[in-house]
């Protein structure tokens, strides 16, 4: 069997037992990348073969005579290209950072590197993580491995496509309004957004600082728990990092039922605008959870309808502030033809940012401007509190919430590029939980008649990833959707 087809757990098991070497793992993935990456275009930057083989050889040499391995040692991972990697180009899929090589590692990378994984490269994304299709990338779109004429989702589309296409065993993405869960649903893989503060944001290039969160994209729920075990935990370098104890997330996987759990179904997530095929598959998933012993309870999240407007005021305002640092002075692109400072700022930002990033900067700057701050940004923050209260009230009566991940399956490349509002509505079911800061996971629950994956979302109380993983794992074990893999013709 080709090594690249294995899950993280299975590949790790073979390596720990000494059945395969790190060099064999690298060679298998290098072959796979040669076969499918020209079609999928999941990566912005790939590490060179020689350095990967040298690292793998050193790992094998270090284990001779005494085989003591770390949980992720020699595991081939991909990293979203908005997470800083020391010595490896980090572009955010933007021209303004085209040649930027960070002098330091993000905290998640420092934690991963203690395990000596094999980092294959940096994956494509919507520029600065602003998008839902990975079409807003300065390096062109990634493609859905199930049908290359369709989007892989966004903004972590490259990471999700790489996992689905077996171009890595697992990947890291980031989620601001759905950017892990939505591409996971589009590509038929697992995507987990942890509770805000569960994973350090230090070294994650900021989009919206009160929303951004790093999380795993994997082939199975077990793999997601394994990866979260390594990257989670308090970080002194991130003031928003939580001091909550970090459990062993794989312990959530011991129970394969949901007996005694109350599963909430928010009625607002099944209203007008939901594709009938998505609705059908998610309803089937809910029935499966009921068969596994769960009690289904319909609930209401009345402020759901305000979530999109609230998000696109808060997120764009924070983006406007965060992206002010890209001025051509300190790092990144600098316009060369400018004769004075103000002109250099203007030329650099005009040349370096793409249309979607410019749109969001302008929206955010307007929302924060004198005379409009109270009417827009401050009001959005007040509504965000009401959305958080919605979830808090719901979790008084239920253990988890189940919903669709997005209103439709993946849509064709180019279909919504000229209609920003339709693009924004792709995240209508993921944005509320992002505003509330709660954990949420997307897992495969079926396919459309076009053969495109559909995902179901499971949401939990803050810092209760354990129960989210338990319910997701129970569903996964009762179905076979997670075992399906796309056929990519060479």
Place domain 3-302+388-483 in its CATH homologous superfamily.
Amidase signature (AS) domain (3.90.1300.10)
Whether residue 287 has pLDDT greater than 70:
yes
pLDDT of amino acid 329: 87
Compute the distance between CA of residue 168 and CA of residue 75 in angstroms, rounded to an integer: 9
Average pLDDT over residues 446-469: 98
Compute the distance between CA of residue 169 and CA of residue 3 in angstroms, rounded to an integer: 9
Q: What is the average pLDDT score of the chain?
A: 96
**pTM score:** 0.97
HEC sequence for 459-484: EECCCCHHHHHHHHHHHHHHCCHHHC
Lowest mean pLDDT among 115-129, 179-193, 369-383: 369-383
Lowest mean pLDDT among 25-39, 62-76, 316-330: 62-76
pLDDT of amino acid 241: 97
**Where are the domain boundaries for CATH 3.90.1300.10 in the chain?**
3-302+388-483
**Can you say whether residue 370 is alpha, beta or left, with left for phi > 0 and alpha for psi between -120 and 50 degrees?**
beta
What are the Cα distances from residue 231, in Å, to 200, 215, 297, 462, 488? 8, 8, 34, 17, 31
Q: Annotated catalytic sites, by residue?
A: 80, 155, 179
Residue 212 is encoded by which pair of tokens?
């951004």
pLDDT of amino acid 66: 64
Summarize pLDDT for 218-254 with one digit per residue, the tens. 999 999 999 999 999 999 999 999 999 999 999 989 8
Q: At what angle do helices 22-40 and 8-16 cross, to 10 degrees?
A: 160
Compute the distance between CA of residue 26 and CA of residue 52 in angstroms, rounded to an integer: 7
Tokens 């062109």 belong to residue = 140
What are the Cα distances from residue 423, in Å, to 143, 203, 274, 428, 466? 17, 28, 15, 10, 32
Whether residue 339 has pLDDT greater than 90:
no
pLDDT of amino acid 65: 63
Summarize pLDDT for 35-89 with one digit per residue, the tens. 999 999 999 999 999 999 999 999 999 998 666 778 899 999 999 999 999 999 9
């Amino acid at each position: 069997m080709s090594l690249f087809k294995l899950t993280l757990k299975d590949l790790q098991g073979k390596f720990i037992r000494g059945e395969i070497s790190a060099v064999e793992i690298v060679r298998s993935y290098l072959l796979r990348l040669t076969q499918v990456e020209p079609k999928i275009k999941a990566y912005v930057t790939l590490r060179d073969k020689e350095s990967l083989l040298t690292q793998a050889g050193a790992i094998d040499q270090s284990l001779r005579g005494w085989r003591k391995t770390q949980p992720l040692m020699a595991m081939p991972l991909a990293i979203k290209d908005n997470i800083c990697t020391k010595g490896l180009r980090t572009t955010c899929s933007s021209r303004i950072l085209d040649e930027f090589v960070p002098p330091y590692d993000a905290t998640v990378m420092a934690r991963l590197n203690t395990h000596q994984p094999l980092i294959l490269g940096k994956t494509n994304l919507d520029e600065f993580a602003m998008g839902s299709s990975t079409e807003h990338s300065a390096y062109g779109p990634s493609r859905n491995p199930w049908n290359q004429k369709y989007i892989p989702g966004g903004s972590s589309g490259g990471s999700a496509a790489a996992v689905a296409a077996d171009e890595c065993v697992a990947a890291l993405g980031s989620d601001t309004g759905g950017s892990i869960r939505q591409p996971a649903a589009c590509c038929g893989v697992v995507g987990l957004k942890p509770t805000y503060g569960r994973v350090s944001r230090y070294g994650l290039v900021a989009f919206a600082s009160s929303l951004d969160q790093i999380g795993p994209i994997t082939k199975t729920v077990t793999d997601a728990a394994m990866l979260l075990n390594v990257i989670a935990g308090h970080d002194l370098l991130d003031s928003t990092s939580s001091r909550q104890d970090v459990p062993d997330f794989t312990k959530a996987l011991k129970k394969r039922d949901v007996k005694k759990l109350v599963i909430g179904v928010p009625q607002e997530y099944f209203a007008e605008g939901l594709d009938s095929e998505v609705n059908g598959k998610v309803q089937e998933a809910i029935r499966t959870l009921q068969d596994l012993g769960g009690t289904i309870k319909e609930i209401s999240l009345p402020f759901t309808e305000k979530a999109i407007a609230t998000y696109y005021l808060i997120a764009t305002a924070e983006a406007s502030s965060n992206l002010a640092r890209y001025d051509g002075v300190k790092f990144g692109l600098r316009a060369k033809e400018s004769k004075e400072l103000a002109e250099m700022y203007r030329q650099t930002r005009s040349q370096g940012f793409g249309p979607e990033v410019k749109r969001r900067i302008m929206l955010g700057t307007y929302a924060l401007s004198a005379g409009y701050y109270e009417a827009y940004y401050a009001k959005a923050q007040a509504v965000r509190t009401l959305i958080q209260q919605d979830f808090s009230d719901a979790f008084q009566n239920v253990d988890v919430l189940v919903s669709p991940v997005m209103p439709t399956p993946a849509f064709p490349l180019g279909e919504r590029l000229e209609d920003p509002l339709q693009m924004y509505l792709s995240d209508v079911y993921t944005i509320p939980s992002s505003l509330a800061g709660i954990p949420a996971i997307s897992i495969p629950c079926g396919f459309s008649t076009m053969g495109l994956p559909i995902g179901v979302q499971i949401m939990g109380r803050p810092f209760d990833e354990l129960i989210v993983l338990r319910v997701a794992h129970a569903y996964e074990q009762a179905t076979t959707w997670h075992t399906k893999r796309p056929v990519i013709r060479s």
